[in-house]
């Protein structure tokens, strides 16, 4: 009886790698980003900016990962060229890695650089950013997926808060 029990335990332990869920261990995302910045300096003035976004996610298990996110958007307003660069990181929760559609949510925290130039002069300031949101990856093959995501984005530069911003991104995910 002891031998049978030992055999079952050993067989069970050897089969654990076979029972592991099929999920990517790492994901690299790259694509287009649209940012709507609202109520600049409390004036009610807002603007739209376009740019890029890239992220790297390491999946700890089937439902939990850690993401590093980087982006840049650009806008010309009345002869001034503006840019905002962001970098952040945080947890991501995957809701269904096993299907064709993988919805996810994330909370990212980090820094931002707001800069601009006009008439031969330039300047900038560093600040804080938070991005809360999520989206979905649509699996095209084992290695590729298409992503769409929407985030609420918060900025704080030199004591001034911009909290009514929306970021929309789309692009390709490389899955490993």
pLDDT band of residue 152 (cuts 50, 70, 90) is very high
The average pLDDT across 74-78 equals 91
- Pick from 8-17, 45-54, 62-71, 111-120: least confident: 8-17
CA distance 172 to 32: 10
CATH code, 25-175: 2.40.160.20
Cα(166)–Cα(136) distance, rounded to whole angstroms? 17
Type and span of the H or E element at 94:
strand 80-94
- List the domain boundaries for the chain: 25-175
Choose the weakest-confidence range: 15-19, 24-28, 93-97, 158-162: 15-19
- Category of 78 on φ-ψ map: left (φ > 0), alpha (ψ -120 to 50) or beta: left
Give the pair of three-digit tokens for residue 110: 């980090």
Closest CA to 37 of 54, 56, 51, 19: 51
């Amino acid at each position: 009886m002891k031998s049978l029990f030992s055999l079952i335990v050993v067989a069970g332990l050897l089969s654990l790698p076979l029972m592991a869920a099929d999920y990517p261990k790492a994901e690299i995302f790259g694509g287009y980003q649209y940012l709507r910045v609202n109520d600049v300096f409390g004036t009610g003035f807002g603007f739209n900016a376009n740019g890029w976004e890239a992220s790297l996610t390491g999946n700890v298990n089937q439902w939990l990962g850690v993401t590093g996110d980087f982006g840049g958007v650009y806008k010309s307003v009345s002869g001034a060229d503006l840019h905002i660069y962001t970098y952040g990181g945080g947890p991501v929760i995957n809701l269904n890695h096993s299907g064709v559609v993988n919805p996810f949510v994330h909370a990212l925290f980090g820094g931002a650089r707001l800069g601009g130039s006009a008439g031969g002069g330039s300047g900038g300031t560093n600040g804080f950013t938070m991005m809360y949101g999520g989206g979905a990856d649509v699996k095209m093959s084992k290695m590729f997926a298409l992503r769409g995501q929407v985030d609420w984005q918060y900025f704080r530069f030199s004591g001034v808060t911009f909290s009514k911003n929306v970021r929309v991104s789309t692009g390709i995910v490389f899955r490993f």
